[in-house]
Amino acid sequence: MAFTDRRPDEHRIPKIVAVGAFHAAIIYALVTGLAATGFTEKIINLPTDNYPSEPPPPAPEVDPPKSPETPKVVEQPKHQTNLFPDVGALDDNLTLPPIGDVGPVELLPLPPKKPPVGPSFTPRQPQPRNEPGGWVRTTDYPARDIREGNEGTTRILLSVDASGAILDCRIARSSGHESLDEAACKAVSRRARFEPATNGAGETVAGTYSNAIRWVIPRN
């Protein structure tokens, strides 16, 4: 009896193992089949050379260079504009617009006239009243100088007062002979007459007068 009960247990263990293996195979097939249909394999390129790189994109097409176009030069007609039109060609009948009423115009008084600035008379030096050619005569020639043949020109400078009288006679340039120079001043001081000098106000003042006497021996 004990032997009969032990045999069935020994045959049931392999069956249980076989059923479990069968069930495990079915489960594995189901799992792998679902995984194959539900997921898509993706290849992620990691930063390493072990993975093949994607081919570079094709270069963009470049249009061939166009030849530069030559600019067209348009010649302008030679026409000179007259910036200053002829005044005579303008219309002479120009009509000006009327001037509006600006009311009464008040005239301003003229400024008083100012007296002229500066002298009202031209100053002048003493002027001879008689002919200077008659101031020195042949008879005034010293006899000694005639004998010795002395000749020359004496330039004199006269000082004339406000009344016209001669105050002084000086030799401005000598003739080279003292006797001829003295005779010239003596004759002029005796015969010369003068109008006195005047200033810018027309008043008589003292002044000077210059002249020259040429001594030449008379030839008979």
CATH number for the domain spanning 209: value is 3.30.1150
Supply the range of the domain harboring residue 138. 127-215
The pLDDT tens digits for 67-126 are 666 666 666 656 555 555 555 555 555 565 665 555 666 667 777 777 666 557 899 999
Residue 153 lies in a domain: yes
Residue whose structure tokens are 């050379």: 49
Is the pLDDT score of 48 beyond 50? Answer: no
To which H or E segment does residue 195 belong?
Answer: strand 194-195
Query: Residue 91 to residues 84, 88, 207: CA-CA distances in angstroms?
Result: 15, 8, 69
> Could you read off the pLDDT of 155-185 as tens digits, one per residue?
999 999 999 999 999 999 999 999 999 999 9
Q: What is the pLDDT of residues 18-42, one digit of tens each?
A: 666 666 766 665 655 544 444 444 4
- Domain presence at residue 100: no
Per-residue pLDDT of 198-211, as tens digits, reads 998 899 999 999 99
Domain contains 162: yes
Number of folded domains in the chain? 1
Q: Are 160 and 168 in contact (CB under 8 A)?
A: no
SS (H, E, C) 93-152: CCCCCCCCCCCCCCCCCCCCCCCCCCCCCCCECCEECCCHHHCCCHHHCCHHHHHHCCCE
Residue 80, in any domain of the structure: no
pLDDT, tens digit (0-9, with 9 covering 90-100), for 139-155: 999 999 999 999 999 99
